[in-house]
Amino acid sequence: PYYVDINQNLFLEAYLHSSDPNLVLFVDTCVASPTPHNFTTVTYDIIRNGCVRDSTYATYYSPYRNVARFKFNAFQFIRNNPLVYLQCELVVCRAYDYSSRCYQGCITRSKREASS
């Protein structure tokens, strides 16, 4: 556990341990939940499909491709639940493969047109 106060900046760093120097790490999705076993019912999106959903989220420069750094402000869920659990999905890609997920950034699904 990591203890923080409400609205305090929470800094995170993900590191890919690999002997291949040509891999890139990309933060695709980070979701918060008041329970450790359910990240689908009551959740709060910090970043989803590469799209920032929380205005306090920010990325930080890393001189290494295999390190992703980011931050957001700590918060709590309604009903004063004092615990918040995080689940993040990261993607590993080949460096300079501009068709890979790591270089696509924010992906929004297009809405389908309703047929008559």
- Torsion (CA) 79, 72, 27, 35 in degrees, nearest 10: -20
Nearest to 45 by CA among 26, 27, 21: 27
List pLDDT tens digits, range 64-93.
999 999 999 988 776 667 788 999 999 999
Nearest to 73 by CA among 55, 95, 92, 61: 55
Q: Which domains does the chain have, with CATH numbers?
A: 8-96 (2.60.40.4100)
List pLDDT tens digits, range 45-68.
999 999 999 999 999 999 999 999
pTM of the model: 0.83
Walk across the sheet containing 44-48 and list its strands: 51-52, 44-48, 23-33, 85-94
Tokens of 115: 């047929």
